[in-house]
Amino acid sequence: GINAEYGSDASGSIDYAHAECPEAACDAAELQSCEACTDEACNWCDTTRTCTHLPGQCPDAYTAVGQCEDLAARCLAHADCGACADDARCVWCERTIGADVCSSGEDDLGTVCPGIFDGVAVAKRAECPDVIADDIAAREARCAKIASCSECAADPECVYCDRAVGNDACSAGVDGEAKECDGVLFDSDGITDAAQCPDVLECAAVEQKCGQCVDAGCTWCGESCVPRNVPCGADDPVVDIESCRVNENCGEYGNCATCTLQEGCIFCISLTGDGVCCLLYTSPSPRDMRRSRMPSS
């Protein structure tokens, strides 16, 4: 690790008076690569990527160009921008004409593309075109699996898009930006607010009672009717008519006004004008027919 250009006395102490590599030269910014540093008879510390005139600062310093790693070959072996950007010694260099490549950069610093490139230098993985394209494709595939508008709009990476002809769809938006729909494929700017979704509006338009709500294909959440995929929060979701019948004793309520105030009850009037408080149901079961049959006329 000691530069052969330095002299030393019998004790092994370095004679800095005989040093041929002045501090200013070794510390120069343009020498902050192994080849440039060792070419000036300085000491290259590969672990910290610094050039110094003091060999003792880095016991395993490189002192000759031949000791330096071939960074150009190392970087060139990275086939795509993502792998290149993951290597701190490399930079992805784009060309307007010709293939983009991974390069060790000017002076092997891995930050600026050599002058033969006329495109953008990409050093961060998130900025790589292939990584961005893969992320958009993965997001598009995930959004496409979401069937309902309300669930789609609740996802910050998706937008619900309408079609005048064909099925509506959940999309990742234009270029992965979940703000607007592709105008070529869809007929609207898209919905990102779940409150504006057709399924939410349809359930909200139903009479806000348990039986009517689940009969419309929605979920009853305590005091509100919401689409089936929307969480109920602290309330237990009710999705079937049987669960709506919280009051099995509708027959105890003799008048219409009292009956209709009870959850799950409906006041039924026979052909003769007689009335009875019945269980609310959509398709009568034998049990319902026995328990809530109206008086015969």
Say whether pTM exceeds 0.85: no
pLDDT for 77 = 93
Residue 251 pLDDT class (50, 70, 90 cuts): low
Mean pLDDT of the 143-164 span: 85
Alpha-carbon gap, residue 250 to 280, rounded angstroms: 9
Strands (E), the chain: 7-8, 14-15, 43-45, 50-52, 91-93, 101-103, 121-122, 159-161, 169-171, 219-221, 224-226, 265-269, 275-279
Highest mean pLDDT among 69-73, 129-133, 253-257: 69-73
Does 88 score more than 80 pLDDT? yes
What confidence tens digit (pLDDT) does each residue in 51-62 have? 888 777 787 888
pLDDT for 293 = 40
Does 216 score more than 80 pLDDT? yes
User: Cα separations (Å) of 137 from 22, 82, 142?
Assistant: 54, 16, 9
Does 246 score more than 60 pLDDT? no
pLDDT for 5 = 42
